[in-house]
Structure 1
């Protein structure tokens, strides 16, 4: 299962018999999800241009799932005693699809603060306990992507010949005053100043993709502690190979435009 994803460097983990449940009750889910993920790419321009936030690439992944009827849904769980509602809780999930065998919930955590994993896993746990879903899926940045994000950003800076904030403006980047101040401080300090390119790359990565954001190891930590248990879970880590360089600029611009329209 997910063999083609594994060959491309995607990380896949299952818990609480999720692999058996998928294989027996939802065989079409793994095949369709694999095809959607294999077709997904994120040009480096999107990562830089988004400022580290959700890229058009992840938005297109959401749209591809929605195109296969994985849609946002708000589950409402009510407690009623003698016809009187005593309690109600709602759990909004970004991607939900119901099949003959049951319902599957899926969340994409590209780059949120890592407590969002607690929210997702607790929602899955409650919905599974109440019979609302059969299993949950979480897609996030994989270890190879998290570990190489600094190298990818620096490669972008090298290829674009970024040596000043004027160069950043030249390619359409607009850092905040705080970001400018932090970079300039490291470049102009008396002791151990560093080149602008190094300062900007380091600042961008630490500011936007730090250890306290949603990525593979943070997700694994929670699942191994039992967060979300006993809901069956499928964890998918996006690899560094999903980030592309050197795509035709007209194609990249079309992707950016498509994302804006979406």
Structure 2
């Protein structure tokens, strides 16, 4: 696995977008997407540019994963991306020494999973606050699809849990102070302390083990810079 940083090139990704998202990539993924899948890359960068983290949705009890992920997924759906299941079918062919086909073996179908967004030759998942086991499923599927020639690259959108937890605690304290005049130490309305949910750190650990093979993969994660600057309001 080659960890690269082509998203730092202002020709590949606008600096204004780069500043608002934490990024990690393999195999020059951003540059590959821009060159090989220009329409899909324009979609991705336009969604990243337009999205801002709204505390009223983000910190809403019971709606954390659904509201944020749905907001991003809806933006891609408006651009023609679709939730799609990708199955792989493998067929064995016996060939003689002279190159003559002798026999076709029964085809084997490997059932995939519903990727959140698919367009052209790009698969994209929004893993906001799901169980981190989803990352194992996603990354292994991306690699298999790339090796089979089905996709040119995959994209993962997630959160920088550590940095966002600090922001959430500050916004929550400000909210409590506004209500009662004191920054009482009460629990956040959502759980941001668990380390078993999908986030940049968990994705990076897997990617750096080389699980992606040669599949280009940019991971972008929301940080405090993605926040819309507004206070929390229930």
Asked if the contact 1:122–1:227 (Cα under 8 Å) also holds between the matched residues in 2, the reply is yes
Distance in 2 separating the partners of 1:221 and 1:117: 10
Q: Deviations over 1:146-176 (max 9, x none)?
A: 3242442342243244889xxxxxxxxxxxx
| Equivalent residue in structure 2 for 1:67, among 78, 89, 113 | 78
1:31 to 42, 49, 54: 42
1:235 is aligned, of 198, 204, 219, to 219
Q: What's the counterpart of residue 172 of structure 1?
A: none
Please state if 1:93 is matched with 2:115.
Answer: yes
Task: Report the TM-score, using the length of structure 1 for normalisation.
Answer: 0.69
- What is the SS of the residue equivalent to 1:30? helix
Query: Does 2:161 align with 1:136?
Result: no
- Between Structure 1 and Structure 2, the one with more helix by share is 1
Other-structure match for 2:185: 198
CA RMSD of aligned residues (A): 2.9
Gaps of 5+ in 2: 1-11, 93-103
Deviations 1:206-245 (A, max 9, x none): x344222111111111111011222111111112132335
Q: TM-score, normalised by structure 2?
A: 0.77
**Aligned counterparts of 2:76 and 2:214: Cα–Cα separation in 1:** 26
Where does residue 124 of structure 2 map in the other structure?
106
Distance verdict in 2 for CA 1:150–1:129, change over 3 Å: same
The match for 2:204 is 220
Aligned residue pairs: how many?
210
Q: 1:248 to 1:63 in 2, by over 3 A?
A: same
